[in-house]
Amino acid sequence: MTLATRCPNCGTAFRVQPAQLAQRGGRVRCGKCAAVFDGVAALDEPDHATALEQSEPSPQLALFETSEPANSGPNLAQQEFPPGAGFLHDPEPPRGRTAWAIGAALALVVLTLQGLFLYRTELSVLFPAAREPFAAACKALGCTVPWPRKADLMSIETSDLESDRRREGVIVLNALIRNRAPFPQEYPALELTFTDERDQPLLRRVLTPADYLPQASGEQAARGLAAGAETSVRLHLDAGSLRPVGYRLYLFYP
């Protein structure tokens, strides 16, 4: 059975077979204006299809011929079409949209990686299991995953100074540092100031974790001060000829 479908864009009518319409769900491309349309929805009246069949004995050529008079337009059976732009082929997607989608996906990946790097400390606190993967990635990139540094959640519980009876001019500092945060924190630095009888500073010194933690405590410093944990500080300091009367002790993060 021969059918006729008409292009809604240019009005050209074509002879088609039902099997041809079934190949792509009825979607066809006009051989005259290259518009893609639903050939089933655009089927012409049966009498027009019969007229086309009687006027053109070759169904293979009639598929690409118009139902208009020969002098009204070119013979579409003689036109050359580029490869892949056949009558029943789907249109190719615009290349610009594909490039834009790839660029947007790459930008999203870059932004995600930047966010993971900038907030690696916070994410390792919220998701403790993610700390080791972050640390492994940072090791490859030459960076580290530091512990949080919230000085307001770190406190000096007790402290005092005493003279070393065995060594002249040596003063012993004792202190107890407590992490009041619900998560591990980096060990803080300590600022110790010796003062005279008028509370004027005689000597100020900054003590880093490497100064007050045991010498073999590199792993301890790397683990940070656990949530709610305490650490004791005991240091022997050479005051020289100074005779401090008082002191001030603060903790901070450089």
Residues 112 and 173 in one domain: no
- pLDDT of res. 153: 95
Residue 189 belongs to domain spanning:
151-252
Identify which of 2-6, 52-56, 167-171, 228-232 has the greatest average pLDDT. 228-232
**Residue 220: enclosing H or E segment and its boundaries?**
helix 218-223
Task: Determine, yes or no, domain membership for 11.
Answer: yes
Residues 174 and 245 in one domain: yes
Residues 155 and 217 in one domain: yes
Residue 118's Cα: distance from chain center in Å?
11
Which residue has 């606190």 as its token pair?
Answer: 125
Task: Determine, yes or no, domain membership for 114.
Answer: yes
Residues 123 and 180 in one domain: no
Residues 100 and 66 in one domain: no
Q: What is the mean pLDDT of residues 194-201?
A: 91
Instruction: Give the strand pairing for 230-238 and 201-207.
Output: unpaired
Which among 86, 120, 141 is the end of a domain? 141
Task: Determine, yes or no, domain membership for 215.
Answer: yes
Residues 133 and 156 in one domain: no
> Would you state the structure tokens that stand for residue 81, as one six-digit string?
């079409």
Q: How confident is the model at residue 31 (pLDDT cuts 50, 70, 90)?
A: confident
Residues 69 and 156 in one domain: no
Residues 129 and 205 in one domain: no
Task: Determine, yes or no, domain membership for 85.
Answer: no
Task: Determine, yes or no, domain membership for 178.
Answer: yes
Q: Is the dihedral of CA 92, 96, 101, 103 positive or negative?
A: positive
How many C-beta neighbours within 10 Å does residue 16 have? 24
Residues 193 and 224 in one domain: yes
Q: What is the mean pLDDT of residues 184-206?
A: 93
Task: Determine, yes or no, domain membership for 87.
Answer: no
The region of weakest confidence among 17-21, 64-68, 197-201 is: 64-68
Task: Determine, yes or no, domain membership for 86.
Answer: no
The answer to whether residues 179 and 160 touch, using CB atoms and an 8 Å cutoff, is no
Task: Determine, yes or no, domain membership for 83.
Answer: no
Residues 157 and 71 in one domain: no
Residues 238 and 155 in one domain: yes
CA distance 78 to 195: 105
What CATH number should be reported for the domain holding residue 177? 2.60.40.3230
Give the predicted TM-score (pTM) of the model.
Answer: 0.51
> Would you state the structure tokens that stand for residue 39, as one six-digit string?
């050939």
**DSSP for 42-74?**
TB--HHHHHHHHHH-S-HHHHTT--SS-GGGS-
Domain total of the chain:
3
**DSSP for 199-218?**
S-EEEEEEE-HHHHS-TT-H
